[in-house]
Amino acid sequence: MENLPLAQTGAELSIWALFWQAGWVVKLVMLGLLGASVWTWAIIVDKLVAYSRMRAALNRFEQIFWSGQSLEELYRNLSDRKTTGMSAIFVSAMREWKKSFEKGAKSPLALQTRIDKAMDLALTREMERLEGRLGFLATIGSAAPFIGLFGTVVGIMTSFQAIAGSKSTNLAVVAPGIAEALLATAIGLLAAIPAVIAYNKLSSDAGKIALRMEGFADEFSAILSRQIDEKVAPRA
């Protein structure tokens, strides 16, 4: 095989040239990893914005809740709106509270249990929404390097086939296949590294938001417990 001029070799080893010269298996690997990388960044941006909005919503609700406004008034203001975070927990607890008294609640323990259960369910729904699609980041972070490695293996096999076919160990013969292999590995890491970093950060952020909501649920449960003692216990 003829030796290629240095400029021509450099052109053929460009990223675009390597992609188009790669076999269909390596191309599929590269395209899959690039698609996963794009989707990963879309999730990262979406979650960062969503968590920022959630923290702002928590701050606003806490400010209103502890401002001294009556629970009934706050419930009326929020009951007809789409609520999230602490607002959703508050509305679910107040809804159960009002339903129970409308039906003539007589057992303080049963009422407290139902309210706590309603808040737990609301908290679970909020956490499912917050943590949605984080599993995809974890999957990409763990699987992408191995998918890229698969492309690497295929590329190296192509290089050895080229050597066997040309009966030459000239670098110009093996360089394209090796470069394809390295490119597949690089794209795998390009997808995996941000996914791992983002998963760790977003999981930590979700955990902190969950702790705030759990703390509010406990505090609100204690407030309602005192009111239950005042309203229900005398009837028992």
Is residue 31's pLDDT more than 50?
yes
Token pair 């699987």 in the structure block, residue: 143
Tell me which of 217 and 229 has the higher pLDDT.
Answer: 217
Structure token pair of residue 98: 């009002």
Q: What is the pTM of this model?
A: 0.81
| Angle between helix 86-102 and 108-131 (nearest 10) | 150
Q: Over the stretch 158-185, which tens digit does the pLDDT of each residue have?
A: 777 777 776 666 666 666 677 777 888 8
| The pLDDT of residue 11 | 42
- Determine the pLDDT at residue 12: 54
CB of 34 closer than 8 Å to CB of 189: no
Contact 25, 154 (CB under 8 A): yes
Summary mean pLDDT of the chain: 84
- Which residues of the chain form beta strands (DSSP E)? none
In the predicted model, is pLDDT for residue 3 greater than 70? no
Q: What percentage of the chain reaches a pLDDT higher than 90? A: 49
